């Protein structure tokens, strides 16, 4: 399988100015503005193969959007090498731009005062899509996203979910080979989030598009991505299969035990870390590999009336990763 995206030692630094509050500090800053360098992206490297759908996550300010902007050519890097489909993105060659799509959940490209279908026609002209292909693609999107009526309604009168579906059409009408999705489900309700996820999954399978997905909703990543890249403070902290993060040697499970009679904390300490303790119920955190053994010990030793074993939410695992655990 060919490589669609290749990043080597990419860095993007910004110079920012600091100022203390108050009039005196404002006057001082006219002649002397303290500045510092922020390393938004700091010497990262990875490859993404053609057709992969990769999750790219991290906390606010981790460097996710900056990386995507470098990959799409919107930003010049401070240093490093980047190739997307064999092109250097910041050269902004027409052949390159016709093969990428960038969807930002908080920034739209639809014209506010006209129906989405007018924006689609504009994009048809920009990307030089023949009439026959354009009509076929519109039919596909109308059916796949169930937007038969919405595309003819003024954009400002559409709901957030309806607008997001039309944004997907506007960004994908030229069938890009590489797609950057930056928080595509932000602000959507649960039902609409599922619909957008289903569409992204189906689109990836149908057109073999290479997709990088950033999202603060781990449900997006778990539902769509096999591979996960975790970035924090501009550095890559994890790049592997999502299953390895969830099921690795340090992964945990929770055991919730309900007792017939009260059991003391002292007696329970040998089983695992106590997360929650009530009169007749306790929740323990134990290593995944020890979960079955600990459950058996609890059943033998204590008057257990109910036992439940669950995976620790992936959000907790990611949080520990950010905290260096």
- Three-state DSSP class for 271? coil
Domain end among 246, 273, 299 = 246
Same domain, 214 and 65: yes
Domain that holds residue 167: 47-70+92-246
Task: Tell whether 120 and 229 lie within a shared domain.
Answer: yes
Whether residues 217 and 257 share a domain: the answer is no
Q: Which of these, 295, 285, 293, lies nearest to 325 by C-alpha position? A: 285
Whole-angstrom distance, CA of residue 229 vs CA of residue 55 = 6
- Is residue 204, in this structure, part of any structural domain at all? yes
Range with lowest mean pLDDT among 78-87, 126-135, 306-315, 316-325: 316-325
pLDDT attached to residue 177 = 95
Range 169-197 average pLDDT: 89
| CATH code: domain of residue 165 | 3.40.50.300
Domain co-membership, 52 together with 183: yes
Determine, yes or no, domain membership for 5.
Answer: no
Task: Specify the number of domains making up the chain.
Answer: 2
263 and 119 belong to one structural domain: no
264-312 pLDDT, tens digit per residue, is 777 777 788 888 888 788 888 888 778 888 888 888 888 888 888 887 7
Q: Residue 250: pLDDT band by 50, 70, 90 thresholds? A: low
Q: Indicate if 311 and 219 belong to the same structural domain.
A: no
- Of 14-18, 38-42, 77-81, 174-178, the one with minimum mean pLDDT is 14-18
175 and 281 share one domain: no
Same domain flag for 206 and 60:
yes
Task: With respect to residue 282, please indicate whether it lies within any of the assigned structural domains.
Answer: yes
Q: Both 55 and 180 in a single domain?
A: yes
Q: Within this chain, do residues 228 and 257 fall inside the same structural domain, yes or no?
A: no
Choose one of 246, 277, 308: the last residue of a domain: 246
> How would you label 168-180 residue by residue, b for 16+ Cβ within 10 Å and e otherwise?
bbbbbbbbbbbbb
Q: How far apart are CA 68 and CA 77, in angstroms?
A: 11
Question: Is 124 inside any structural domain?
Answer: yes
Same-domain check for residues 188 and 267: no
Residue 249 pLDDT exceeds 60 = no
**In this structure, are 276 and 234 located in the same domain?**
no
User: Tens digits of per-residue pLDDT, 119-142?
Assistant: 999 999 999 999 999 999 999 998
The CATH number that applies at residue 266 is: 3.30.70.980
Tell whether 130 is covered by a domain.
yes
Query: Helix, strand, or coil here: 319?
Result: helix
Neighbours of 297 (CB within 10 A): 13
Which of 121-125, 215-219, 235-239, 315-319 has the lowest average pLDDT?
Answer: 315-319
Asked if residue 87 is part of any domain, the answer here is no
Q: Considering the chain, what percentage of its residues have pLDDT values greater than 70?
A: 94
Q: Which of 200, 230, 246 is the last residue of a domain?
A: 246
Whether 166 maps to a domain, the answer reads yes
Tell me: pLDDT of 33 over 80. Answer: no
> Is the pLDDT score of 244 beyond 70?
yes
Least-confidence region, from 8-22, 144-158, 206-220: 8-22
What would the two tokens of residue 92 be? 């902004």
Residue 300 domain flag:
yes
Mention every residue, 6+ apart, whose C-beta is less than 8 A from residue 12: 40, 41, 63, 66, 67, 70, 75, 77, 78
> What residue ranges in the chain does DSSP mark as E strands?
3-17, 35-49, 53-57, 79-84, 100-104, 178-182, 210-214, 227-232, 235-241, 252-259, 273-277, 281-287, 304-311
**Contact between 298 and 286 (Cβ < 8 Å):** no
């Amino acid at each position: 399988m060919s490589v669609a995206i290749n990043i080597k030692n990419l860095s993007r630094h910004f110079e920012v100015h600091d100022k203390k509050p108050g009039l005196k500090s404002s006057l001082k800053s006219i002649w002397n503005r303290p500045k510092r360098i922020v390393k938004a992206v700091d010497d990262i490297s990875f490859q993404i193969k053609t057709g992969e759908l990769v999750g790219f996550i991290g906390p606010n300010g981790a460097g996710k959007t900056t990386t995507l902007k470098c990959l799409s050519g919107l930003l010049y890097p401070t240093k490093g090498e980047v190739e997307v489909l064999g092109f250097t993105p910041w050269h902004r060659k027409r052949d390159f731009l016709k093969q990428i799509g960038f969807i930002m959940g908080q920034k739209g490209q639809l014209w506010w005062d006209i129906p989405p279908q007018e924006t689609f026609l504009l994009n048809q002209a920009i990307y030089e899509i023949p009439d026959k292909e354009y009509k076929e693609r519109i039919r596909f999107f109308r059916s796949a996203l169930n937007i038969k009526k919405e595309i003819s309604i003024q954009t400002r009168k559409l709901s957030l979910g309806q607008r997001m579906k039309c944004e997907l059409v506007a960004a994908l009408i030229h069938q890009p080979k590489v797609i950057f999705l930056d928080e595509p489900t932000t602000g959507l309700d649960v039902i609409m989030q599922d619909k957008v996820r289903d569409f992204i999954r189906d689109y990836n399978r149908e057109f073999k598009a290479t997709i990088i997905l950033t999202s603060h909703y781990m449900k997006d990543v778990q539902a769509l991505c096999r591979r996960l890249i975790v970035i924090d403070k501009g550095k890559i902290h994890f790049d592997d299969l999502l299953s390895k993060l969830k099921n690795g040697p340090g992964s945990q499970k929770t055991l919730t035990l309900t007792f017939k009679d009260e059991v003391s904390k002292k007696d329970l300490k040998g089983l695992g870390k106590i997360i929650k303790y009530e009169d007749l119920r306790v929740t323990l955190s134990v290593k995944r590999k020890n979960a079955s053994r600990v459950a058996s010990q609890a059943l033998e030793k204590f008057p257990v009336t109910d036992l439940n074993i669950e995976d620790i939410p992936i959000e907790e695992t990611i949080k520990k990763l950010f905290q260096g655990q």
